[in-house]
A and B are shown apart, each in its own frame.
Chain A
C-alpha cells in the first residue's frame, strides 16, 4: 500500500474553505509538501513545512502538521474556481533527496 494516503475527492462551494487531508507513515520525514496539478500541467509547489513545525500560513494557505498522528492538512481559505485541481501531499524522508507522494485529492469548486 501507499506510504502517503489522501482522500480521492473534495467538492466545495466558491468562497468556502477547503481542507485537504493527508496521512503518512514514516516518522523520519523531514519536510512535507503540498503540490497543485492542473490538467496537462506539471506540479506546482504550493508550500512545505519542516517536521519540527506544527503550522505554517502563507496567504490563503494554512498547513497543519500533527506529527504524533502523522497527519498533514492543507486549508485553502476563500476557495476560488481557479483552485480546482488535483492536490498532492508528499514527504521527504531523512535519507535521500526524493519525494514520496500521496495519490492526490481532486478538488472541485462549484460557483
Chain B
C-alpha cells in the first residue's frame, strides 16, 4: 500500500505571494491533517479534514486555509506569504488512531 505523498517537495516563494500544497493520503484513509514544523515553534497543528469537512483547526491566521476533495486528497493554501511562513509542512493520514505522515513540503519564503 502506498504511503502518504506530498507535492511539491520543495518550494521557494517571495513575500506576498500565495502557495498551494497537496497531500494524497493512504488509500482508504478519510482523515487528513496538516502540521507546520519550524525550528522555533516545533510541530504545530494547522487543521484536519474528514469527508471534505474541516473538523478541527489550530491557532493560525486566516491566511492559512485548506480543503479536501471527494477522493480524500487535500490541499492547503497560504496567502500573502510572510518570511515566518518558511517551514516544513507535513500532512498526516489516519483511519482510526494511527497517524501516518508524508515526507513534507519544504517552503522557503524570501
Contacts and interface: CB of A to CB of B under 8 A. Distances in A.
Interface in A75-104: 88, 90, 92, 96-104
A111 interface: no
Given A30-B97, A92-B97, A97-B33, A42 B48 contact: no
B51 to A, nearest CB: 12
A48 B101 contact: no
Interface residues of A, number: 24
Given A96-B56, A97-B33, A48 B97 contact: yes
A interface, over-half SS: strand
B60 interface: no
Contacts of B94: 97
B90 A42 contact: yes
Interface string B16-41: 00000000000000010101000000
Interface residues of B, number: 24
A43 B42 contact: no
Interface string B71-99: 00000000000000000001010100111
A43 B45 contact: no
Nearest to B44: A101
Contacts of B103: 41-42
Given A42-B102, A45-B98, A48-B98, A97 B48 contact: yes
Interface of A: 2, 30-31, 33, 35, 41-45, 48, 50, 88, 90, 92, 96-104
14 contacts: A2-B42, A35-B101, A41-B103, A42-B4, A43-B92, A44-B101, A48-B98, A90-B43, A92-B97, A97-B55, A98-B56, A98-B58, A100-B45, A101-B43
Interface of B: 4, 6, 31, 33, 35, 42-43, 45, 48, 50, 55-56, 58, 90, 92, 94, 97-104
